[in-house]
Amino acid sequence: MSALDYVTGPALEQGHDVVLYAPGMFRREARRRGVEFRRAGADWTCDVAVQQAASEVWSKSGNVPFNRYVFGRLWPDQAEAKARDLIAAWTRARPDLVIAECSDLGAHLAARVLDLPVFAADNGLGPVLLDLWDGDIAPALACLHKQYGQDTAVLPAMLTPAPVQWFYSTPPPSARAVRRTVAEFGSALPQWLDDGFSSARPLVYVSLGTLTTAMAGLRTVIGSVYREIMAALCDIGCEAVVSAGDLAPDLRSADPRIRVVEHVPQPALVRRADLFVTHGGRASLLDAVQGATPVLGMGVLADQPGNVAGFARRGLGRTLELTATRGEIADAMTAILGNPRYEAAVTAADAELSQLPPLDVMQLRDCGDAQDGFGLASRPGSRIHVNEMELHDPWQ
């Protein structure tokens, strides 16, 4: 749910009732954020067969065919079930505003069928979806939209938690950049981490995401990348925290300066780090900016390769291929650590990010009314329905 914190957090603070409609796997995360939960859609992305097929496409054919298969085929195939659940739920309890992940195609359709104001919340997949929309996604949704008496599928007006030009060469339809917020529980380090760092050595934080370690077809590849990174860390005389998810038990460090863990509160740790080695998911890169920490990007799939390339062009760090060797990784880390131009660039980016306006739910709802003519009553305590597709941060 971290991909929607910039929506749910402000909505709760402004006194609105927020309901998350998502598969059951998100129930705990909704509770941690004080958000009401309603089950909708299926946990289909957790299916081992689905993950295996997707990872095989990536391994054999590369990232572009992977994106077309996952987001141009699998995602549209699942839209009907989500739309059916939401139409039934929203007929019983009509929301004042729907904010759906940009990849939640079923929620977009359900909102159109019921004439509800809807915005797409960019979860990092916006650039991928725009690239695939006309050639893959819209045609794949044509029959479903016709079934519900709707015209050609279109992406709703987009909310994005960063300056639009950071991730888009061509802005998405009606893009609105808003200030990024993170959940409060991600802002504090555990005591065992907070007390254990030496100020005499640089601190490097490493994380290559969660999906890559969960998918059997990618696990071996990513495990090898982690081992090369850890070998490079041993060579440069730093301290490091390696957050490797399910792979953590398989990654043993002989160097006491390198700690391997399953998970950490990333926003808090990035603020302490001098360098972030990352797969380049949108949330991770924005965590780095808000922590004023340069990045070494090693993009894996989906939007990640494009994200890290864009950050390198902006001077916020460097990029390497997943096939980089121990020596190449060590050289790149050394080139970034202590280089004032990277620190200055990421500090400037943090200032730019912090200047974005906060999300104003009433203004957003009124904008939806004016744009689409829904004429809902304007009042505090509006019921905001937020929709999460079956995967969030992992695909980032």
- Res 24 pLDDT > 60: yes
pLDDT of residue 377: 30
Question: pLDDT for 261-315, tens place per residue?
Answer: 998 999 999 999 999 999 999 999 999 999 999 999 999 999 999 999 999 999 9
Question: pLDDT for 203-259, tens place per residue?
Answer: 999 999 877 776 777 888 999 999 999 999 999 989 999 999 889 999 988 888 999
Region 156-178: mean pLDDT is 90
pLDDT of residue 184: 79
| Topology alike, domains 2-180+356-395 and 184-354 | yes
pLDDT band at 373 (very low <50, low <70, confident <90, very high): very low
d(CA 391, CA 327): 35
pLDDT band at 384 (very low <50, low <70, confident <90, very high): low
d(CA 158, CA 147): 25
pLDDT band at 385 (very low <50, low <70, confident <90, very high): low
Region 345-373: mean pLDDT is 82
In single-letter form, the type of residue at position 12 comes to: L
pLDDT band at 394 (very low <50, low <70, confident <90, very high): very low
Q: Which long-range contacts (CB under 8 A, 24 or more apart) does 375-380 make?
A: 376/96, 376/97, 376/117, 380/14, 380/15, 380/16
Question: pLDDT for 105-117, tens place per residue?
Answer: 999 999 999 999 9
Answer whether CATH 3.30.1360.20 is correct for domain 184-354.
no
CA count, 13 A, side-chain hemisphere, 267 = 17
Mean pLDDT taken over the chain: 88
pLDDT of residue 370: 45
CB 218 within 8 A of CB 62: no
- Res 393 pLDDT > 60: no
3-state secondary structure of 357: coil
Residues in the chain: 396
- Res 395 pLDDT > 50: no
- Res 57 pLDDT > 70: yes
Instruction: Give, to the nearest 10 degrees, the angle between helix 326-336 and helix 216-235.
Output: 60
Rounded to 5 degrees, what angle do the CA atoms 158, 162, 168 make? 65
- Res 32 pLDDT > 70: yes
Region 161-168: mean pLDDT is 93
pLDDT band at 200 (very low <50, low <70, confident <90, very high): confident
Task: Return the CATH number of 2-180+356-395, one of 3.30.56.10, 3.40.30.10, 3.40.50.2000, 3.50.50.60.
Answer: 3.40.50.2000
Residues above pLDDT 90, as percent of the chain? 72
Spell out the domain ranges in the chain: 2-180+356-395, 184-354
